[in-house]
Amino acid sequence: MKRKTIERPPSARQKMINLMYIVLLAMLALNISSDVLNGFSLVEESLSRSTANATLQNEAMYRDFAAADSANHYKAGVWYLKALHVGRISDSLYTFADELKMMIVREADGRNADLDNIKNKDDLEAATQVMLSPSKGRGKELYDAINSYRDQILDMVTDETQREIIRNNFSTEVPQTIGALGKNWQEYNFENIPVVAAITLLTKLQNDVRYAEGEVLHTLSNNIDIGDMRVNKLDAYVIPTSQNVVQGNPFTARIIMAAVDSTARPAIFIDGKEIESEDGWYQVATPRTGDFSLSGYMELNSGSGTLRRDFTQKYSVVAPLATVSATMMNVLYAGYDNPLSISVPGVPSNRISASLRNGNGTLRASGNGFIVKPARVGEDVVIAVTANQDGRTQSMGEYKFRVRQLPDPTPFIEYADENGTVQRYRGGGIPLPKRSLMAADGIVAAIDDGLLNIGFRVLGFETTFFDRMGNAVSQLSDGARFSEKQKSTFQGLTRGKRFYIQRVRAVGPDGIERQLTTSLEVILN
């Protein structure tokens, strides 16, 4: 559909100002004295007021453009940038005219000249000197600036009537009259004219700039419909805080109609009854689990009658449910810090609490989870979970875990390979380089099965060698370290010889001392 452009014809006041300016120019040509000069002052004052009003209107338009760009940059962004460009070139020409006015007045009245109180209004040399001086005349510069501004503005105005007005306002053609023969534009306008006439001419130029700026801004605003509040679709919506509700908690939703008029709130009906609601908020109790539906309609009075829109919103009510899992294992081990993660669907972790029901050990929060340390083997640990929802604490159930003693660790020799990487030798028929054995301090023990990595403190162990006669020779360690006698025996072993590490005694984080039933077979390479 072709967009209808809003035309803004010149106001009656603007027409009157233009007519007064033409009459005064004609009277000036007849050398009318001080009354004519005062008439120019009146016109200049009227032009200044008109320009100030136009400036205020344009500034309001720029604020509308900025608001539209902030609300929808995709739609308004390109037009906002064009509006800013119009503002820049308009301010540039407007400021240039201001500078010329001040230069002309100073040329006539001296360095302390006051643009609002011109003393030598009838000075015929000041404008000529500033605008037409061979060395520093600014007339040609103004001529070029007007032409450039006019061409850029006309590129952005589509209405032909407005284009013609702007083209005439910024015309730099010299009339073909006897008095104008042989003169260029700047000579025709500024040669031998009183200061007050030159100032009025430049003020009229500034007025024309603000008028043209406003026309372009209105044209650009039509492209994005700034201020157009019309809508072509109205629908009712139910916006729940959550579609899944824990049993016992209320289902909360906001019921609205799209494109709401803030001065006329719609009436909401559920099950045929109008509800009292502030801004559309509504709650319904949830005493049982299952799938439910909230249905009703909204009514809004408009100028053409009553609008009605139906709505339906499904929601589910679920039983209180929490997920509690041991992070590293399937059971809890007594005397050990077992990490737990506890979660409740739809509830942030910082609103979840847990406690021990039967007092078997301790439970504390740690990071994003919990640490439970059972005290007794064979007695289950019961963990109660609660959640804080909408300011109220609700139970999410109790969860039971079996408690076992930590299993026995595995002994191994820990050494650094040629790359400096720590390795664990567990036997199993794999040879151990003799140099690695000689570099090891002793043995370590740990539960290391890919899930758990629980270290134990070795209290002591024995090494068993076989002499040439096949007799077993046992040697005791120095705690977890190889004794000097064991190291001396290692030194005399040759490739392919083997010995056994056995009767390992160790204590775990649960404080229980145990003697390991497994032994470590070492084969030298």
DSSP 144-168: HHHHHHHHHHHTT---HHHHHHHHH
Give me the pLDDT at residue 522, please. 95
On the question of pLDDT at 32 being above 90, the answer is no
Q: Does residue 179 or residue 143 have the better pLDDT?
A: 143
Give me the pLDDT at residue 500, please. 95
Contacts of 229 (CB under 8 A, 6+ apart): none
Q: What percent of the chain has pLDDT over 70?
A: 81
| Residue 152 · residue 93 · CB < 8 Å | no
| Residue 282 · residue 209 · CB < 8 Å | no
What DSSP element (H or E) covers 98?
helix 73-109
Residues 84, 89, 95, 96: what is their CA dihedral angle, to the nearest 10 degrees?
A: 170
Give me the pLDDT at residue 205, please. 92
What residues form DSSP beta bridges with 400? Answer: 382
> Which of 35-39, 386-390, 492-496 is predicted with the least confidence, judged by mean pLDDT?
35-39
Tell me the CA distances in angstroms from 41 to 13, 98, 111, 310, one per residue in order.
Answer: 17, 16, 21, 68
Buried b (16+ CB within 10 A) or exposed e, 213-241: bbbbbbbbbbebebeeeeeeebebebebe
Which pLDDT band, with edges at 50, 70 and 90, does 225 fall under? Answer: low
How far is residue 417's CA from residue 439's CA, in Å, rounded to a whole number? 10
HSE toward the beta carbon, residue 147, CA cutoff 13 A:
10
Which pLDDT band, with edges at 50, 70 and 90, does 349 fall under? Answer: confident
Of 384, 332, 8, the closest CA to residue 161 belongs to 8
Name the CATH code of domain 236-318 (choices 1.10.10.200, 2.60.40.10, 3.40.30.10, 3.40.50.620). Answer: 2.60.40.10
How far is residue 170's CA from residue 149's CA, in Å, rounded to a whole number? 9
Give me the pLDDT at residue 291, please. 79
Give me the pLDDT at residue 1, please. 41
Give me the pLDDT at residue 25, please. 54
Neighbouring C-beta atoms of residue 291, cutoff 10 Å: 8
Neighbouring C-beta atoms of residue 47, cutoff 10 Å: 25
Same fold across 236-318 and 323-404: yes
Tell me the CA distances in angstroms from 30 to 33, 36, 43, 392, 410, one per residue in order.
Answer: 9, 10, 18, 93, 121
Of 456, 370, 376, the closest CA to residue 410 belongs to 456
Which pLDDT band, with edges at 50, 70 and 90, does 87 fall under? Answer: very high
- pLDDT, mean over the chain: 83
> Which of 23-37, 87-101, 501-515 is predicted with the least confidence, judged by mean pLDDT?
23-37
> Which of 54-63, 342-351, 406-415 is predicted with the least confidence, judged by mean pLDDT?
342-351
Q: Does residue 303 or residue 374 have the better pLDDT?
A: 374
Of 431, 501, 491, 423, the closest CA to residue 465 belongs to 501
Model confidence pLDDT, tens digit, residues 102-115: 999 999 999 999 98
On the question of pLDDT at 459 being above 80, the answer is yes
Q: Does residue 459 or residue 3 have the better pLDDT?
A: 459
On the question of pLDDT at 30 being above 50, the answer is no
Model confidence pLDDT, tens digit, residues 464-481: 999 888 899 999 999 999
| Residue 464 · residue 451 · CB < 8 Å | no
> Which of 18-22, 209-213, 214-218, 436-440 is predicted with the least confidence, judged by mean pLDDT?
18-22
> Which of 241-250, 278-287, 294-303 is predicted with the least confidence, judged by mean pLDDT?
241-250
Contacts of 140 (CB under 8 A, 6+ apart): 186
Of 438, 332, 322, the closest CA to residue 385 belongs to 322
Q: If you average pLDDT over residues 60-67, what whole number do you get?
A: 91
How far is residue 132's CA from residue 193's CA, in Å, rounded to a whole number? 12
Neighbouring C-beta atoms of residue 254, cutoff 10 Å: 14
Q: If you average pLDDT over residues 502-519, what whole number do you get?
A: 94
Give me the pLDDT at residue 394, please. 87
Give me the pLDDT at residue 5, please. 46
Which pLDDT band, with edges at 50, 70 and 90, does 235 fall under? Answer: low
Which pLDDT band, with edges at 50, 70 and 90, does 29 fall under? Answer: very low
Two tokens, residue 264: 């006329």
Which pLDDT band, with edges at 50, 70 and 90, does 91 fall under? Answer: very high
HSE toward the beta carbon, residue 89, CA cutoff 13 A:
21
Give me the pLDDT at residue 293, please. 87
Kindly list the domain boundaries of the chain, sorted by start residue. 12-224, 236-318, 323-404, 410-524
Residue range 323-404, CATH number: 2.60.40.10
On the question of pLDDT at 231 being above 90, the answer is no
How far is residue 271's CA from residue 145's CA, in Å, rounded to a whole number? 72
> How close are the terminal C-alpha atoms of the chain, in Å?
91
> Which of 67-71, 121-125, 178-182 is predicted with the least confidence, judged by mean pLDDT?
178-182
Q: Does residue 478 or residue 221 have the better pLDDT?
A: 478
Of 130, 250, 120, the closest CA to residue 195 belongs to 120
Tell me the CA distances in angstroms from 494 to 189, 470, 499, one per residue in order.
Answer: 117, 16, 11
β-bridge pairing 332-333 and 403-404? parallel
Q: What percent of the chain has pLDDT over 90?
A: 46
HEC readout, 203-233: HHHHHHHHHHHHHHHHHHHHHHCCCCCCCCC
